[in-house]
Chain A
Amino acid sequence: MTLENPLREGLRMRRPMEPVSIVIFGATGDLTARIPALFTLAQEGKLPAAYNIVGYTRRDWSDDYFREQMYEAVSEFSRHDPGVADEALWRGFADNLTYVQGNFDDLERYRALDEALTELAGGQNMPDNRLYYLAAPPGWYETIITHLGEAGMAAQEDNGWRRIIVEKPFGHDLASAHALNDTLNAVFSEEQVFRIDHYLGKETVQNILVVRFANAIFEPIWNHRYVDHVQISVVEPGGAEGREEFYDQAGVIRDIFQNHLFQVMTLIAMEPPVAFEADAIRDEKVKVLRAIRPINGEDVAQLTARGQYTAGTIDGEAVPGYRELDEVPDDSQTATYGAVKWYVDNWRWQGVPFYLRSGKRLPTRVTEASIHFKRPPHLLFDERQVENQRPNVLALRIQPDEGITLRFESKLPGQGLERRAVTMDFRYGTSFGIATPPDAYERLLLDAIVGDATLFARRDEIEWAWRLVDPVLAAWRDGEGPPMEMYEAGTWGPEGANELLARTGRRWRRL
């Protein structure tokens, strides 16, 4: 039995963690996130006292060449530039980098990797804890997982645990997600699996839980009696450049709705969990997903809108239309904008629509959830102003300029009872002086190392989300959905999205 460490208690700065070897499958493919995040963690002294980072790909690289490539990646993408920081810091980090060459479907190379990991751990007299990170193209996921199992690299042993991080996309529909999960669970138990949705690693997404459940003033009005509707938006000025091939297969629903938007929506709509623990929170999120009313058949045309951007102007620069991109077919029917009206059929949210939207090539980059409250039941003031009466809105800004805004009515100074809507702003940076918020990957990597799955998606979350979006995707594909509207880059998206709200006298919040 492992003795408790009484010195852990009350520590503010670091979470004590065991030595670990982190294996990145596909380390050379996408260098923008994981290695820079790991370097930042190392530089801030947040990694364990002993760690190894092992890159595994098919390219014929040496350890030194791998380190050179990682240095360039870190220089470009890390919050801490190794060129600016002490060179010794990089050397200390680079000493822990190792490269193992191998194809993803070559079982013998997995055995070689296994030996290399055992040797690394033994050489440093550290337990053989392993964190596998699937950063390879999703088409290889099942092959890698299966080979890890066949090479005996998934079973937890006395001298070390085994965990695996899987990046989205978790399949491309319910069937493929189910198959991927079956493959995963045939090799790894669910406790060993950490499905990353980097949105959950963002400070402000986690703050949704704190705002809701650490304050007594919001929860009593967080229901259908007081809330008129909820809007959740993930919009960006960027296009699909650089990932056209993937994006044209995925589209906005698979890319954003099935994961990021549903993650935020479940945190907004969930019941209070019994504890701030992984399964307690994930149980409540799944209950929300189960309560969301599916949109089928003809309803898809009424409750959704879609669009695709054409050429336009963003920040004063001309940008091409989606179909003008190299890898995108001229007749592509992939939606780059989507808006969907969902209902959550439970006691708390009966009759309250949740409007979710996401789009590319919109004027600004914002992720925000806003709670729009009902109007007062009786207006005491000048009835001529009723039309101008703007309801209270509580907006949770997730990025950028993270914070919370409350809009309410106030009397204009002077005689009479002229009113204006004013906002009360809380901004993280202003209140806490955060120069650079921690990167989501940094937080999630640390959580995986200590085995905290709170901010990772569970199997049933993924599959329930697919159950909800599959019928929408099918209707869009089969021509039962709303028409594909073209919208000019730099505008707020298709008119159909505005009509989705206008039918009930509502409108999108200006972001």
Chain B
Amino acid sequence: MNIAVAIRLMPKVGDELEVDESGTDIDRELVDMAISEFDDQALEEAVLLKEATGATVTAVGLRSDGIDEALRLAYARGADRLVVVDAGEIDTYDSRTGALAFAEAFRQLEPDLVLTGVQTPTDVFGQTAPYLAANLGWPQANVVVGVTLADGTARVVQEYAGGRLAVLGLDLPAIVGVQSASSPPRYVAMARLRQAMTEASTETLNVSVDAPAVPSSVVSLARPASQAQATMLDGEAEEIAAKLVGVLRERGALPG
């Protein structure tokens, strides 16, 4: 059983984002890129499946700044094989183009199951899992909160509005978009992380993608124009607390 995890990068959670001079993208000089938080969940689910079934986990990323470190971290977390997909000069931050490169890689790598994050927080052009399903013609389920393998099928728990759940069976090969892993992503000891950084090696897979010109583009990126900006309370913590209690009392929001 071969499981591939499609890994995309996003600015580290908490890093401050600035829009660059073009006005249509973030300034990547100012942020550190890390595994996207949802792809991180997909990676964890893949490693849990490996532990349960002895499957092999291949972490697959698109060539870009920071991908090597991200894949090595995946190795420290339990991935067996690391593949950097080189599709030449493509925009790896565009989900549509990225999915074409991943699809080409999976045609060659022939995994039984592909896991990836439920969505890509860094662009507007859609989600990797359903794009892969359309490109590869494999069955797919997105917004999944748990995967098990039984009798040549993947059993996935799909989540709906309000947290309702159902179990679906997908014939393999299949694609699963993971919302959250069955248990939170594990933390790896620093020593193991350092060891992985030197011990792991990545392979490069060259693919060519024929990305059609898509008549849709971002014309501006900006902080939300806030309809109603909050009234900010400042001062020392004690003062703020007093002001807040005043507001709550005035607004009738206190109990009793």
A, B: real partners: no
